[in-house]
Every structure is written in structure tokens, then in C-alpha cells.
Amino acid sequence: MVNPVRNNKLAENAKMKDKNTISNGVKFAIKNLDIWFGTIHALKQVSMEIEANEILGAIGPSSSGKTTFLRMLNRLNDLSPNFRMNGEVKLENDNIKNIDAQFLRKRVGMVFALPLSLPLSIFDNVAYGVKMHGVKNKKLLQNKVEESLKEAYLWDEVKDRLNESAFKLSGGQQQRLCIARTLAVSPEVILFDEPCSGLDPISTAKVEDAMVKLKQKYTIVLVTNNVKQAARVSDRTAFFLNGELIELDKTELIFTGPKDKRTDGYIRGKFG
């Protein structure tokens, strides 16, 4: 399951870290994080670091807290009325509680499980976030939209129909549109929540390609129900079970010799 191309990527990646990143290459530092929704204890004593410019895969059975973990990182959980948390999440040395939610979400973008296009044109979907951050200049918007669509490998397919409704695109195209939309606000981190769950293998491959390329500029956290996808794209993989972080290690190690039996059981398909 380990492929040499990816090992090269890892090596490259290690070099990049030295060059480009602040705070010793650690993007998120999470310490003793507990999350509750009412009486449900959704995350239990999770501690980990997310490194800059890595793809961190998160796997685990249903209701193991993967989405909750992801939505913690851009404080989208705050929208749930019965949400409570304990512990500390730091984005480059700032506790995210002290970062204004709007600003945090600009830095930490998210791509949802289903392709959730906004009921706007293709162009306006991509331009939406940028506009909300106060950019009005038409030319600037156009450049940004084009650049983002290219980065998401969608430009060639939509460049002649930018004013059509986004709902006219196929599911796979819409998901790449959602990626472009997230890229347009120039985040540092992109959170993907099962981005390929509704897509066919070819669209999935396109989205995965996009993610691997994006890693050069962004830090990526990828929640996936598809264990093979984590093996294909992620640099390190975290295994969640019942709200606990069971194991986090280099993807090769997780998939060849995990330390915990439960990880082994899951990736061999024993449960979940």
C-alpha cells in the first residue's frame, strides 16, 4: 500500500516545512480536547498536532467524532446550541477561542460532504467569499475566480458557462466548485469532510489529485470513510473510535504495522 511516489512527496514536504512555515511547522496544536453535544460525549481527551503542508487523514467508523473534530477547527460547532468544549486548540500559537470566528474561518476553509453549491451562478459561487471580505473590484474578482477554478481543475470545464446556475453542474464538478470557492478566500488550512462520498471513481480521482497538489500551498485535513483514500492521499493518518483518538502516525505505519489492535481491526474491515 505504500507507494514510492508518495514517499518522495513526503520528503519534499519535509523540506518545504523548513522553508515556509511559521511556528516550527505546526499549524494546529490540540490539547486535551473534550467536546459534548448535550449529554453526548463526542470527543474525549484528544491531543495532537497538525503539521503545516501535510495531508492529515482522519478515519474511523460512523459517529466516532471525525466530523466533530473537523468542525472544531473552524469553530463551526459553535452553531450547535448544545455544544460544549473543554481543552485547548491553538492555530499557530493563538487559541482559536480568541480569534474572531469570521477571521478564523477565512484562514481555515471547509469543503463539505455533499457538494453544497450556493443557489448562485458558478462565478458568484466562487466569488462569494471574496466579495464578503470586501473585494468589489470586478477585474480582481474575475482574476481570483479564474485562478481558483484553475487550481481546482475545473476552469476548462466551466469557463464558457460561468453565468449559469451552479446546480447545472454534475456532482463531481460541483464538489470541485466547492473546492474552488474555498480556495478563493486564500485559506491556510482546508478541511475536507468526506469530500468524495457522493462521487464516482473518476470524479473522486480528480478531487484526490487536486488535494495532493494543493498540499504544496495549504495544510489539509481529510476526513474520510474510505480507508483506501486515506492510504492514497494522506501523509499521516489519525484513527478515531468512539470519540477517542486511538492512533496517529505516518500513513505507511498505520497501514502496515499499527500499534493498536483496534486500528488494525478497522483497516482490515473488522468493524465500522
- Which residues sit at the interface with ligand ATP, rule CB under 6 A? 37, 40, 42, 60, 62-68, 80, 225
Please report how close the Cβ of residue 190 comes to ligand ATP at its closest, in angstroms: 17
| Out of 84, 97, 133, 268, the residue judged to bind another protein by CB under 8 A | 133
Q: Is 163 in the site for another protein (CB under 8 A)?
A: no
- The full DSSP string for 217-262 is TSEEEEE-S-HHHHHHH-SEEEEEETTEEEEEEEHHHHHH--SSHH
Cell match 478564523: residue?
A: 104
Least distance between another protein and beta carbon 116 (Å):
5
Cβ atoms of 252 and 10 within 8 Å: the answer is no
Residue 42 binds which entry of another protein, ligand ATP, Mg ion, none, CB below 5-8 Å type-dependent: ligand ATP
76 near another protein, judged by CB under 8 A:
yes
User: Based on CB atoms, which residue is closest to ligand ATP, 65 or 195?
Assistant: 65
Query: What is the DSSP secondary structure assignment for residue 83, as one 8-state letter?
Result: E
Shortest Å, Cβ 196 to Mg ion: 13
Site for another protein in 167-226 (CB under 8 A): 167, 178, 181-182, 185
CA distance 190 to 111: 7
Counting Cβ atoms within 10 Å, is residue 226 exposed (0-12), middle (13-18) or buried (19+)?
middle
Instruction: With CA atoms as reference, report the closest residue to 122 among 146, 92, 96.
Output: 146
Question: What residue has cell string 469553530?
Answer: 75
Q: CB of residue 221 vs ligand ATP: minimum separation in angstroms?
A: 13
CB of 193 or CB of 252, closer to ligand ATP = 193
77 binds Mg ion (CB under 5 A): no
Among residues 64, 67, 182, 219, the one that binds Mg ion under rule CB under 5 A: 67
Judged by CB under 8 A, does residue 236 bind another protein? Answer: no
Least gap, CB of 129 to another protein (angstroms): 4
Is 266 strand, coil or helix?
Answer: helix
Window contacting Mg ion (CB under 5 A); options: 2-10, 61-69, 143-151, 201-209: 61-69
| Per rule CB under 5 A, count of chain residues that contact Mg ion | 1
Dist CA 121 CA 63 (whole Å): 34
| Angstrom distances, CA of residue 171 to CA of 73, 95, 120, 121, 124 | 26, 36, 16, 15, 18
Applying CB under 5 A, the residues found at the interface with Mg ion are 67
